[in-house]
Amino acid sequence: MEHLAYLDAGSGSLIVQAVVGGVAGAAVAAKLYWRRLVDRFRRQPTDQR
Protein backbone atom coordinates (compact mmCIF):
# COMPACT_ATOMS: atom_id res chain seq x y z
CA MET A 1 0.00 0.00 0.00
CA GLU A 2 1.27 3.45 -0.88
CA HIS A 3 1.81 5.32 2.35
CA LEU A 4 2.71 8.95 2.75
CA ALA A 5 3.18 10.45 6.19
CA TYR A 6 1.67 13.88 6.92
CA LEU A 7 5.17 15.15 7.58
CA ASP A 8 7.66 15.51 4.73
CA ALA A 9 10.47 13.43 6.17
CA GLY A 10 12.96 14.83 3.63
CA SER A 11 14.70 12.44 1.21
CA GLY A 12 18.20 13.43 2.34
CA SER A 13 17.12 13.10 5.98
CA LEU A 14 16.03 9.51 5.34
CA ILE A 15 19.28 8.49 3.62
CA VAL A 16 21.56 10.12 6.19
CA GLN A 17 20.01 7.89 8.87
CA ALA A 18 21.58 4.90 7.16
CA VAL A 19 24.96 6.62 7.07
CA VAL A 20 24.93 7.47 10.79
CA GLY A 21 23.91 3.89 11.67
CA GLY A 22 27.48 2.53 11.83
CA VAL A 23 29.07 -0.03 9.51
CA ALA A 24 25.80 -1.81 8.69
CA GLY A 25 24.22 1.53 7.84
CA ALA A 26 27.12 2.59 5.65
CA ALA A 27 26.73 -0.70 3.75
CA VAL A 28 23.03 0.06 3.15
CA ALA A 29 23.89 3.57 1.93
CA ALA A 30 26.64 2.20 -0.33
CA LYS A 31 24.19 -0.35 -1.79
CA LEU A 32 21.61 2.37 -2.39
CA TYR A 33 24.09 4.56 -4.25
CA TRP A 34 25.46 1.58 -6.20
CA ARG A 35 21.96 0.65 -7.37
CA ARG A 36 21.28 4.24 -8.35
CA LEU A 37 24.48 4.24 -10.42
CA VAL A 38 23.69 0.93 -12.07
CA ASP A 39 20.14 2.08 -12.79
CA ARG A 40 21.45 5.20 -14.49
CA PHE A 41 23.66 3.17 -16.86
CA ARG A 42 20.87 0.69 -17.53
CA ARG A 43 18.47 3.46 -18.40
CA GLN A 44 20.77 5.33 -20.75
CA PRO A 45 20.48 3.04 -23.83
CA THR A 46 16.68 3.12 -23.50
CA ASP A 47 16.70 6.91 -23.17
CA GLN A 48 18.80 7.28 -26.35
CA ARG A 49 16.48 5.16 -28.48
Partner 1 sequence: MAISPTEVRPEPASFRDPANRVFHVGDEVLRGLDPQAAAHWRALTGSTFFPALVAARKVCATEDAPPTLVPAATGTPWAAVLRHERIPFVSHPYEWSFSMLRDAALLHLEILTAALGEGFTTKDGSAYNLQWRGAQPVFIDIGSFEPMRDGEPWAGYRQFCQTVLYPLMLTAHLGVDFQPWLRARVDGIEADELRPLFNGARRLRPGVLTHLHLHGAMQHRNAAASTTEVRDQLRAAGFSRELLLATVRGIEKLVGKLDRRPPESHWSDYQRTCGYSARDRVAKEQFVAVAVAAGTRPRLVLDLGANDGRYSRLAAGHADYVVAVEQDPTVVDELYRQLRSEGQRRILPLVLDLADPSPGGGWRGVERAGFAERASADVVLALAVVHHLAIGRNVPLPEVIDWLAGLTAPGGAVVVEFVHPEDPMATRLLANKPAGLFPDYRRDAFETLLAARGRITDRLELPSGTRTLYRTVMGG
Q: Dihedral, CA atoms, 32, 35, 41, 45, nearest 10 degrees?
A: -120
Least distance CB 23 / partner 1 (angstroms): 10
In the complex with partner 1, which residue's Cβ is closer, 3 or 49? Answer: 3
In the complex with partner 1, which residue's Cβ is closer, 2 or 47? Answer: 2
Provide the 8-state DSSP code for 49: -
In the complex with partner 1, which residue's Cβ is closer, 22 or 49? Answer: 22
Least distance CB 30 / partner 1 (angstroms): 8
